[in-house]
């Protein structure tokens, strides 16, 4: 997995609540059997018209946000389906950090498996960063995972919470499966004990 | 011993390893797999030279992207991308030796309907699937939730999931439901009360007389939409109805093993003085038949209400409500029962079981549809066969419904079953998001009865009016 340590970049403002995974990557792009190549269809129905032409008003189509690495969004980001195609599309576009007041549970977990840092901040701090993001290329936001801080273009510093284990994996680009395999003995002994206690399973 | 919730008990029985920071490896009893969220996971196993650790606990069935029209046994009758995903699942099931119900098997259907039907889902189990509606299995007193594809790969390889424990939330529905009110109305009303993020970070246990009174089918409908309220899982303590549903199913235990299982299942309930981090109580008699008006499942109102205005809301919801009203092309103040619809969809893991089809057919019997198209997609081949045997299929067909083969169909519209731009649908599914049932399509969620009522009047309709006329 791609490591995430520090990031300094332009943030795109998407001030909507309940941005769901169908918005992030509509179902027609779930027909792939690969993980890659979904970035071009990120936010497809908001980004392109019925003829497949770019809608100029949509934030990621504006010149200053085409290379954005950070997304600032509203409450309950990533609600809806468990499709990991959502974080795959976000990462494939080049976005590795999302900032919002809250996230849906499955999406939040999926981000960490794909080198994306989802940061939850209080609404008023998100509001500050949303204003910052609206300045486009005039404003760069800095994210430091080790220090757990975000610095706005005006120098406001916000600290954020992140689970220690998830942080460790993201900082080092660690593969979950490899880590769990190291605990195979625990799984073996659990399985032996459970098959005695609940043989019908 | 300190008092525990049902969730605490199941959790404690499945922790295979706990790190100092509380990160656990949770052992998974049943892993359900479908064709859309698994190909990349199997590919990952192959690339790393890994096996499926417990193929006997892994069950696969194609459902999301299969056509629901006749002749689908032949891949030539599928779109190319569907055929590729189904062929990949065929191959992965065979190569890794997991249980499989191919599209040609009468037992094929929506994974969350097949699991319980075949007795794979049992009380006290941990159940996961690469699909958010895995919460459905919580109806059996199983801890069940959706996972992403990386986690699918993790479970395939290790039979565990890296988890931290969620908080406990109690949702109590007291008393009796009124006539015309269903499990779907309960679950939508709860989301209307808590919001789509109200359950984030929690496992919900549904309890109370109105929940106990529900059939297993109804309980599955309630738990199915726990995810729409943001909860990781929804769960209902097992009881005699649960055992009665499970007994004799192909993969349920038999004989002495059954007796031992029931003895343990009887310990699966929340202790009286267990700690709850959040409690929501709703009176059963206060719940009305509801519909959604917007593009979030929390946009729910009784059918007797009118379309709200954006400034009825606060904060970020004002803009979201305006966006919903624009997308849904609705004017504030319009009675919901004046909204005309084009299409009716009855099916999905929320409402595609036999009881749902019976309820809809009871409304439709002897009537004709007044909409452009109406479709019934049974949740499994076995539900379909039973509905045919009971004469329900004839009622649907005579009313003007299309009678389809099993699958997810227009719930997520990956297959050709889609809404056209601007088309308005009364749907028994679970999500009314923008574009969910087809780009520009407009979805109103409701119970099977309400969808049937809408089919015969051509607009959103209070099913109680039709029920009154029928008697």
Q: Is pLDDT at B470 greater than 60 in this prediction?
A: no
Q: Cβ–Cβ of B200/A105 closer than 8 Å?
A: yes
CB A173 within 8 A of CB A2: yes
B65 sits in the region (left: phi over 0; alpha: psi -120 to 50; else beta) called alpha
Q: Cβ–Cβ of A16/B27 closer than 8 Å?
A: no
pLDDT tens digits, residue range A160-201? 999 999 999 999 999 899 999 999 999 999 999 999 999 999
Q: Is pLDDT at B242 greater than 60 in this prediction?
A: yes
| Residues 329 through 368 of chain B touching chain A, CB cutoff 8 Å | none
Q: Find the mean pLDDT for residues B85-105.
A: 97
φ, ψ (nearest 5 deg) of residue B426: -90, 115
Q: Find the mean pLDDT for residues A52-70.
A: 97
Please tell me the distance from the alpha carbon of residue B417 to that of residue B69, in angstroms, as a whole number.
Answer: 10
Q: How far is B200 from chain A (nearest CA, A)?
A: 6
| Residues 123 through 162 of chain A touching chain B, CB cutoff 8 Å | 123
Strands A149-151, A157-159: pairing is antiparallel
| Residues 36 through 95 of chain A touching chain B, CB cutoff 8 Å | 45, 50, 74-76, 79-84, 87
A78 alpha-carbon distance from chain centroid: 9
Q: Cβ–Cβ of B148/A82 closer than 8 Å?
A: yes
Residues in chain A within 8 Å Cβ distance of B25: 180, 183, 186-187
Per cent of chain B over pLDDT 70 is 99
C-alpha angle with apex B6: B5 to B10, nearest 5 degrees? 120
pTM: 0.96
Mean of all residue pLDDT scores within chain B: 97
CB B299 within 8 A of CB B292: yes
Neighbours of A24 (CB within 10 A): 26
CB B470 within 8 A of CB A58: no
CB B197 within 8 A of CB A75: yes
Picking from A33, A35, A82, the nearest residue to B85 by CB comes out as A33
User: Which of B145, B153, B131 has its CA nearest to residue B40?
Assistant: B153
- The two structure tokens encoding residue B307: 């379309």
Substitution target in A72, A79, A195 with the highest count of B β-carbons within 10 Å is A79
Q: Cβ–Cβ of B421/A50 closer than 8 Å?
A: yes
A–B interface: beta-carbon pairs under 8 A? 194
Substitution target in A2, A81, A124 with the highest count of B β-carbons within 10 Å is A81
Per cent of chain B over pLDDT 90 is 97
Nearest residue of A to residue B65, measured between CA atoms? A31
The yes/no answer to whether this complex scores an ipTM above 0.90 is: yes
pLDDT tens digits, residue range B245-261? 999 999 999 999 999 99
Q: Find the mean pLDDT for residues A34-61.
A: 96
Give just the sign of the alpha carbon dihedral A181, A185, A186, A191: positive
Asked if the C-beta of B151 comes within 8 angstroms of chain A's C-beta atoms, the answer is yes
Q: Cβ–Cβ of B65/A31 closer than 8 Å?
A: yes
Asked if the C-beta of B48 comes within 8 angstroms of chain A's C-beta atoms, the answer is yes
* Model pLDDT, residue B471: 45
Band the pLDDT of B469: cuts 50, 70, 90: low
Residues in chain B within 8 Å Cβ distance of A194: 13-14, 27
Nearest residue of B to residue A195, measured between CA atoms? B29
pLDDT tens digits, residue range B399-441? 999 999 999 999 999 988 999 999 999 999 999 999 999 999 9
Picking from B145, B196, B232, the nearest residue to A18 by CB comes out as B196
Q: Find the mean pLDDT for residues B109-116.
A: 98
Picking from A80, A165, A184, the nearest residue to B21 by CB comes out as A165
Q: Is pLDDT at A30 greater than 50 in this prediction?
A: yes
What residues contact B142, with CB distance under 8 A and at least 6 apart?
Answer: B10, B29, B30, B121, B122, B123, B124, B125, B126, B127, B235
What residues contact B92, with CB distance under 8 A and at least 6 apart?
Answer: B38, B39, B42, B60, B98
φ, ψ (nearest 5 deg) of residue A89: -65, -40
For residue A101, give the DSSP letter. Answer: S
* Model pLDDT, residue B467: 84
Q: Cβ–Cβ of B264/A198 closer than 8 Å?
A: yes
- What H or E segment, with its residue span, contains residue A158? strand A157-159
């Amino acid at each position: 997995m791609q490591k995430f340590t520090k990031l300094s970049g332009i943030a795109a403002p998407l001030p909507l609540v309940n941005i769901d995974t169908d918005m992030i990557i509509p179902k027609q792009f779930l027909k792939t059997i690969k993980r890659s190549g979904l970035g071009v269809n990120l936010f497809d129905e908001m980004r392109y018209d019925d003829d497949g032409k770019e809608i100029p008003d949509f934030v990621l189509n504006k010149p200053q946000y085409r290379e954005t690495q950070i997304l600032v969004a509203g409450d309950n980001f990533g609600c809806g389906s468990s499709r990991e195609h959502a974080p795959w599309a976000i990462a494939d576009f080049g976005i590795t950090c999302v900032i919002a007041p809250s996230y849906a549970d499955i999406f939040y977990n999926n981000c960490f498996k794909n080198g994306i840092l989802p940061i939850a901040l209080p609404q008023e701090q998100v509001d500050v960063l949303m204003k910052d993001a609206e300045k486009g290329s005039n404003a760069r936001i800095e994210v430091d995972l080790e220090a757990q801080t975000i610095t706005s273009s005006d120098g406001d510093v916000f600290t954020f919470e992140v689970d220690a284990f998830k942080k460790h994996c993201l900082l080092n680009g660690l593969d979950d499966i490899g880590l769990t395999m190291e605990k195979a003995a625990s799984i073996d002994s659990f399985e032996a004990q459970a098959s005695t206690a609940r043989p019908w399973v | 011993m300190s008092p525990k919730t049902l969730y605490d008990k199941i959790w404690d029985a499945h922790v295979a390893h706990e790190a100092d920071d509380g990160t656990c490896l949770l052992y998974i009893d049943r892993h359900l797999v479908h064709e859309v969220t698994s190909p990349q996971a199997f590919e990952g196993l192959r690339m790393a030279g890994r096996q499926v650790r417990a193929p006997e606990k892994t069950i696969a069935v194609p459902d999301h992207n299969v056509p629901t029209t006749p002749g689908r046994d032949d891949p030539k009758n599928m779109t190319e991308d569907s055929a590729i995903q189904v062929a990949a699942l065929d191959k992965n099931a065979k190569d890794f030796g997991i249980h499989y119900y191919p599209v040609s098997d009468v037992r094929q259907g929506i994974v969350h309907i097949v699991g319980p039907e075949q007795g794979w889902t049992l009380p006290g189990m941990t159940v996961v699937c690469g699909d958010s509606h895995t919460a459905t299995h919580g109806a059996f007193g199983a801890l069940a939730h959706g996972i992403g594809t990386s986690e699918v790969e993790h479970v395939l390889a290790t039979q565990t999931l890296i988890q931290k424990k969620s908080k406990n939330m109690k949702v109590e529905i007291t008393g009796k439901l009124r006539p015309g009110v269903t499990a779907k109305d309960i679950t939508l009303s709860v989301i209307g009360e808590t919001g789509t993020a109200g359950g984030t970070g929690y496992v919900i246990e549904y309890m109370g007389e109105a929940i106990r009174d529900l059939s297993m089918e109804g309980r599955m409908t309630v738990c199915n939409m726990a995810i729409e309220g943001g909860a990781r899982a929804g769960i209902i303590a097992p009881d005699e109805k649960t055992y009665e549903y499970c007994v004799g199913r192909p993969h349920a235990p038999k004989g002495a093993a059954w007796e031992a299982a029931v003895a343990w299942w009887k310990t699966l309930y929340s202790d009286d003085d267990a700690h709850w981090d959040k409690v929501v109580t709703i009176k059963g008699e206060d719940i009305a038949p509801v519909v959604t008006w917007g593009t979030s499942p929390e946009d729910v109102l009784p059918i007797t209400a009118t379309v709200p205005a954006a400034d009825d809301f606060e904060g970020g919801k004002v803009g979201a409500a305006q966006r919903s009203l624009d997308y849904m092309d609705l004017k504030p103040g319009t009675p919901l029962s004046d909204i005309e619809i084009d299409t009716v969809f009855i099916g999905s893991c929320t409402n595609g079981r036999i009881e749902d089809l019976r309820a809809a057919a009871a409304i439709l019997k002897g009537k004709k549809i007044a909409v452009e198209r109406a479709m019934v997609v049974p949740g499994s081949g076995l539900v379909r066969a039973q509905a045919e045997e009971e004469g329900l299929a004839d009622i649907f067909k005579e009313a003007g419904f299309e009678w389809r083969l099993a699958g997810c169909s227009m719930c997520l519209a990956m297959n050709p079953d889609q809404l056209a731009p601007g088309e308005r649908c009364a749907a028994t599914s679970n999500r009314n998001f923008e574009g969910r049932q087809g780009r520009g399509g407009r979805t109103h969620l409701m119970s099977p009865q309400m969808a049937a009522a809408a089919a015969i009047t051509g607009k959103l309709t209070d099913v109680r009016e039709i029920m009154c006329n029928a008697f």
